Structure formats: structure tokens, C-alpha cells
Amino acid sequence: MAIFRFVIASFVENAPAVCIIDRYLLVQFIKSFLIFFISFTGLYVVIDSFNNLDEFLRYGEQTGRGTLPILFDYYTPRIFTFFNMTGGILTLIAAMFTVTWLQRHNEMTALMAAGITKERIVRPVIIAVGVIALLGALNREFVVPEYSDALSRNAQDWLGESAKQLQPKYDNLTDVLISGNHTFANEMRIEAPKFRLPRSQPGVGTKINAANAFFKAAEGDRPSGYLLDQVSEPENVAEAESLLDADGNVYVMMPKDHPWLAPHQCFIVSDLSFEQLTASREWRNSASTWALISALRNRSLDFGADVRVEIHSRLTQPFLDMTLLLLGLPLVLKNDNRNVFVAIGLCGAVVVLFFGVTMASRGLGSNYMISPALAAWFPLMLFVPFATYMTESMRS
């Protein structure tokens, strides 16, 4: 597409020469971006920490580590997610502020008088935005997933000790309905679990109840699943046979056939992890794209269209960031605007329109009104022609 050819051309034309003005613009842009990012992040951290200060003080006393280490552990992963959320907007604001500052001091006029086009002048800014968009994608795929457990906990349950209500969920591979009273994230434990089997089994019936269930990841020859302790129903669990599914695979392991189980225990095989069972939305937001794709292939899960929209949106996000920049930047260059506040107003109008369309499109896709692929790609289909047209003014 023309807009992406324009971006690529900005990278490769006259690439060997890095002029003083290029370094000057890059420094101004990076300083502006860091100032805006640190300001907004600091504002978020200060407001949120004061709202939850009592909890953090209690956690500091409870763990014996003090409040500051708790604050560091809590907000570090949230800063990375905040970067993902605000990267596209902040790069646009920083770019418009940098260009407006250049115009206000008549430096743009001097450069254009020397025969340099606007496109060449703002090239380092476009390159810097592309690099930040790439860093955002890498951050989303490799950094944020490392903190998925921390991001699934809020300030009221940072240590994972609070009981949370468990919403019943089917394991779609085995048709076992998993329910219970409460869950505890620090132990990956379900209190008073009730597992309903798809059909009545000899000597077992249709229900397996216990005092607790603990999620266990796959280890050795044992698959992943839930270890039920102090089984109360069926009463003769120590004498019951292991249960097989329609394909002949064991999906309920009993102590009679598996000596590593205690007489009052059983093990229900499931690919539905504890995070997916208890916090599917939080897990989805912090998971990598490959993890989301793998989850779609997991027959134990039954994700809706919103996950498919999310996967396509991950692919389009860097292009959306560049499109947003090339929609807003020509507005400042075209009118030779030297007023910083006018630039901020134009930036705000572009951002509201752009994200309004993007969110509406994704909402339609999540509610099955349009296909997930169209929901993610429609903003590009709509705004790229406008951005291509507007960038023509930068070539003069």
C-alpha cells in the first residue's frame, strides 16, 4: 500500500547520511516522548498507589519486606502494560510537539529555504516512531507474558490469599463441568470442588466432590490436571476403576490404578489451566500472541470471537501506530502551525476519531456482528487511504 511504501522510503532514502538536524530532531522527539511517558506513568502510579496505600502498607508488614519493594513488584509489570496501552498516542503527541517546536523557532522555514522537503525533515521522527512501535510489539510478546501471574492480581489480593468466587466452566475436551466454592491463586487451589462427569460411571456416578483441588502442570508421564484431595463422593474412591473417555484415554485417575495417589485422592486430567479457569480475561490480555493461538487450538477451551479479534489486533497494532502518526503529523505540517496548544487540540481530535472507530470495529467483531479479521483490519482499510492522501503535503 502507498502509505507503507512511503514509510519504507523514509527508512531507506539517503539512509547513510545522518545529519545534525536528524540528531537534533531525534533528541527532541525522544526527550518529548520520555517526558510525556514518565509524566503519565507517574500520574497513574501516584493516584493508584494512594488509593490502595492501606493494602500496600499491610502487605509490607505481612511479608516483612517493607512497602517500597511491594510497590516496585506491583507496578513494574503494570508500567510495561501501560507502555503498550499508550505507546501509539504518546508517539503521536511527541512527534507533533517536536515538529511544532521546530516551526515555532523558524527552524522549519530555514530548512525548507535550503531546499529540504518536509518529508526529509521529519524522516527521523517517522523512523523513531517505527522503532517504538516495534519495541511495543516485542514488549507485548516477550516481556508482559512473563508477568502474567502478577497482572492477574489486583491491589486487594496481591498475595493471592483472598478467596474468589469460581464461575463454573466446562472442559470442552472431556465435557467435565468444573465448579466449586472459591479459588485461591497463591496455592492454585479450588475450595470444595465439584466435578460433574459427562455421564454416569459404574461405581462413581456423575459427580466427584472433594475438600480441595490443586492444579498440577504436566510432569513426566503425568498430564496436567486437578488433584482432588479428601474426596467425599464417591465414598469408595480407593476401590474405583480409572475412567476412560470415548477415545480410550484416561481422564480420571484413581488410586487403584495409580499408586502415587493416596487412598482419598483422585486426579482429573485437564488442559484447562488454573489461570484460564479463574481469570480468562486477565490471562488473555497478558498472554503472548502465540499463547492465544495455542489456546484456540486447545480443545479444552472454548474462546469466543473476542479472542480471535485480539489475535488479529496484535498483528495490526504496529501498522495502526504508524497510520495514526501519518494522520496527525501532516495536520501540523500542512498549516505551518506554531501554536503548541493548537497542535495538542488537533492531536486530540485525531486520536478520538481514530480510537473511536477502532474500538467500535473491535466491539462489532467481538459480538459476532462482523468477522474477527474484518474487525481488526477495518480501521487500516478506512484510514490508510486518508493517511496516504495527507502525506502528499509532506513531499512539498
Cell matching residue 140? 507485548
* Domain boundary assignment for the chain: 19-161, 164-276, 304-395
pTM of the prediction?
A: 0.79
Q: Which amino acid, one-letter code, is at 334?
A: K
CA dihedral 47, 362, 76, 89 (to 10 degrees): -70
Question: Tens-of-pLDDT digits for all 396 residues of the chain?
Answer: 555 455 444 544 444 445 788 888 999 999 999 999 999 999 999 999 999 999 999 888 888 888 899 999 999 999 999 999 999 899 988 998 888 888 888 888 788 888 888 888 888 999 999 999 999 999 999 999 999 888 888 888 888 777 788 888 888 888 899 999 989 888 899 999 999 998 888 878 889 999 999 999 999 889 999 999 999 988 888 888 899 887 888 999 999 889 899 999 999 999 888 888 886 667 778 888 998 888 888 777 777 788 899 999 999 999 999 999 998 888 877 755 556 677 667 777 888 999 999 999 999 998 889 999 999 999 999 999 998 888 877 766
| Measured distance CA(26)–CA(12) in Å, rounded | 17
Peptide bond preceding 372: is omega within 30 degrees of 0, i.e. cis? Answer: no
CA–centroid distance for 223 within its chain: 28
- Classify 324 as helix, strand or coil: helix
> To which H or E segment does residue 264 belong?
none
| Measured distance CA(35)–CA(357) in Å, rounded | 28
For every residue of 63-83, DSSP letters joined together read HTS-HHHHHHHHHHHHHHHHH
